[in-house]
Amino acid sequence: MRVQTWVWLILVAMIGGAVGGLHAEDIGCVATTFRVVGANDQICVSAFDDPKVPGVACHLSQARTGGLKGTLGVAEDRSRFSIACRQIGPITVELAKLPKEEDVFSERTSLIFKQTRVVRMVDRTRRTLVYLAYSTKVVEGSPFNSVSTVPIMPWEVPDGPAPTQSRQR
């Protein structure tokens, strides 16, 4: 009976994490530690757009644990990450209509209990969006966090075709 309760709790936590999260696009990873068995430890960069503020994109780098546990998806990733958010287009949303704080991204970093979350805060006085990345656990929070700000600026669309970039060699 006790085992069944634990199995149900694990399944609910896994399904809730998979359904409730706002997901990002993986950009790429670099290996940091060689592992004889399983995948190497990595730092991976992901990108996501703010779902309620068109014109803002964020990039999040995170440590991902390799080895046999990492390969099987049961390793707990370290709470080490960095975030950078930028205005990539016109921001037309009214700041007054945005909530003071709102989750914009969530990703599991362990099998059950731990997540990396990104919260958007609105600094109406400075007309700035503040993005705070932090790690959570059911039992204990993590002091590791990272912050990025996006001041709301006018966005001018150039007339004519977009400029092309050329590489100098």
67, part of any domain: yes
Containing structural domain, residue 91: 24-151
- Residue 78's nearest CA partner among 135, 37, 18 is 135
What whole-number distance in Å separates Cα of residue 17 and Cα of residue 73?
Answer: 14
- Domain count of the fold of the chain: 1
4, part of any domain: no
Q: Are 48 and 25 in contact (CB under 8 A)?
A: yes
Amino acid at 60: L
51, part of any domain: yes
pLDDT value at position 8?
39
pTM: 0.70
- CA 61 remoteness from chain centre: 8
- At 79-120, the pLDDT tens digits run 678 999 999 999 999 999 999 999 998 876 555 556 788 999
